[in-house]
Amino acid sequence: MSTTLLLLADGRFPAGGHAHSGGLEAAVTAGRVRDLETLAAFLDGRLATAGLVAAAFAAAACRGGDTSTLDSEMDARTPSPALRKASRAQGRALLRAGRTLWTLSTVERELHHPVALGVVAAAAGLAPEEAALTAAYGTVTGPASAAVRLLGLDPYATHALVARLARDCDAVARRAARVATVDELPACSAPLLDIGAEAHASWEVRLFAS
Amino acid sequence: MHPEAHTHPDPHAPLTAGARALRIGIGGPVGSGKTALVAALCRTLAADLRLAVVTNDIYTTEDADFLLRNGVLPADRIRAVETGCCPHTAIRDDISANLDACEDLEHDLGPLDLVLVESGGDNLTATFSKGLVDHQIFVVDVAGGDKVPRKGGPGVTTADLLVVNKTDLAPLVGADLSVMARDAAARRGDLPTVFLSLVEDPAATPVADWVRGLVKG
Ligand SMILES: Nc1nc2c(ncn2[C@@H]2O[C@H](COP(=O)(O)OP(=O)(O)OP(=O)(O)O)[C@@H](O)[C@H]2O)c(=O)[nH]1
Ligand SMILES: [Mg+2]
């Protein structure tokens, strides 16, 4: 536990996250997320899929894994062009912030977000499991705060959902940090997130970038 | 022009950056005339300055589309940033997407003299971060009532230039321009305020002159 971890995981950290809903806007418009109950299910599913993958990649990058290998592995797990773009945009924003605060081991300007998170976490002196925790937490809090804005849900009730997911988040981070080789990196997919992201990118009117 | 004259210290500059374009933010409440002003500035300045525009719409690419439809700039000189329900966050608290857009424009188009960043229509408290722009213009209109300068707020009190737009509408809405001028002076001290009607002055002459002065700096 460290203040640096809190700094990096803070939703106010200026790394571009506020403009992304983590697939929630598409799910809301499709009618799949309407209230607290459906939001809870969405967050559960996202943590178990995108959350676990992001956490494992963040931990691997933090441990010093080769960034270009990890980046193409992440590409292979991200079939939706819209999600690739969103992930790279957020990775770029995070690298910009990280470069201003710490000394990064890479000069790359654009990486997938989880890989960038691992690189920045390492530069900040965090451990792989902390990088994984930040990634897992972010995959849940991003859509949760988007839900408050899009559906007008009670912010206390929404935070209560996140609080209830705390153990699951911790467990995902522990599991992600145990991944030792590139071949063991998880590839859990959530096809509706991919399909929703593609539909979302084609809308004329939307509030979030993804 | 002196294209390479701006060597502003920029903590967020691209890794390979030398001098970069001057960046001017244009903010203000919804519908006050920000896009109309950007269009006017492009028409007036495009002949002698290499310029580009970044827009921050709340819901759509409406502002960027307006500029395109009106042919004030070619499409490759206009970028739209999406702001996720929070237009003020994108220009103040987390400026990363706007910095990326500014850098991409300069990267793709080569050196520029000026990048105009239009904020999404917001409230009187929304201002640009100094990490994003070098100077900012705050646009209010007379149709919002002549009380607006008196209300103050960071936009009105601290913007480098306050533009009171749509003066042609003043008689129709019963707004007293002398009250607005007096209140603006009281709130702003020595900072300049200009009154404008883009209907009567489609070249936005006083604002274009102010911008030219900064670019030539
Ligand atoms: N009468 C009058 N109308 C104006 C003037 N300037 C702009 N308008 C009109 O005001 C309306 C809003 O102008 P915009 O330029 O779209 O305003 P904006 O501040 O960019 O609006 P948002 O981006 O939605 O916040 C348009 O219909 C303009 O034609 C003016 O000086 N006089
Ligand atoms: Mg506009």
The ranges assigned to domains in chain A are 17-201
pLDDT in tens, B170-209: 999 999 999 999 999 999 999 999 999 999 999 999 999 9
> Average of pLDDT values for B129-154?
94
Q: Does residue B16 register a pLDDT over 80?
A: no
For atom 14 of ligand 1, the residue with the nearest CA is B33
pTM, two decimal places: 0.89
Q: Does residue B5 register a pLDDT over 50?
A: no
pLDDT band at A60 (very low <50, low <70, confident <90, very high): very high
Residues of A in contact with B100 (CB under 8 A): 89, 92-93, 96
Task: Provide the chain B residues 75-94 that lie in CB contact (below 8 A) with chain A.
Answer: 81-86, 89-90, 93-94
pLDDT band at B6 (very low <50, low <70, confident <90, very high): very low
Q: Which domains does chain B have, with CATH numbers?
A: 22-216 (3.40.50.300)
Mean pLDDT of chain A: 96
Sequence-distant (≥ 6) Cβ neighbours of residue A133 within 8 angstroms: A5, A9, A55, A169, A170, A173
Better-scored residue on pLDDT, A106 or B76: B76
Residue B155 labelled as part of a binding site? no
Q: Does residue B8 register a pLDDT over 90?
A: no
How far apart are the C-alpha atoms of A47 and A172, rounded to whole Å? 8
pLDDT band at B12 (very low <50, low <70, confident <90, very high): low
Residues of B in contact with A21 (CB under 8 A): 84
For atom 21 of ligand 1, the residue with the nearest CA is B31
Phi-psi map region of A35: left, alpha, beta (phi>0 left; psi -120 to 50 alpha): beta
How far apart are the C-alpha atoms of B12 and A96, rounded to whole Å? 7
Q: Does residue A1 register a pLDDT over 70?
A: no
How far apart are the C-alpha atoms of A67 and A118, rounded to whole Å? 9
pLDDT in tens, A5-20: 999 999 999 999 999 9
How far apart are the C-alpha atoms of A145 and A139, rounded to whole Å? 11
> Average of pLDDT values for B7-33?
75
Residue B152 labelled as part of a binding site? no
**B17 in contact with chain A, both atoms CB, cutoff 8 A:** no
Does the C-beta of B141 come closer than 6 Å to ligand 1? no
Q: Does residue A197 register a pLDDT over 70?
A: yes
Rounded to 10 degrees, the C-alpha dihedral B97/B100/B105/B111 comes to 140
pLDDT reported for residue B173: 94
> Average of pLDDT values for B77-97?
90
Mean pLDDT of chain B: 89
pLDDT reported for residue A205: 84
Q: Does residue B3 register a pLDDT over 50?
A: no
Residue B32 labelled as part of a binding site? yes
Ligand 1 atom index nearest CA of B30: 25
Does the C-beta of B143 come closer than 6 Å to ligand 1? no
pLDDT reported for residue B13: 55
Ligand 1 atom index nearest CA of B200: 31
pLDDT band at B58 (very low <50, low <70, confident <90, very high): confident
Considering only CB atoms, B84 lies closest to which of A18, A97, A100, namely: A18
How remote is the CA of residue B32 from the centroid of ligand 1, in Å?
5
CATH class, range A17-201: mainly alpha
Q: Does residue A201 register a pLDDT over 70?
A: yes
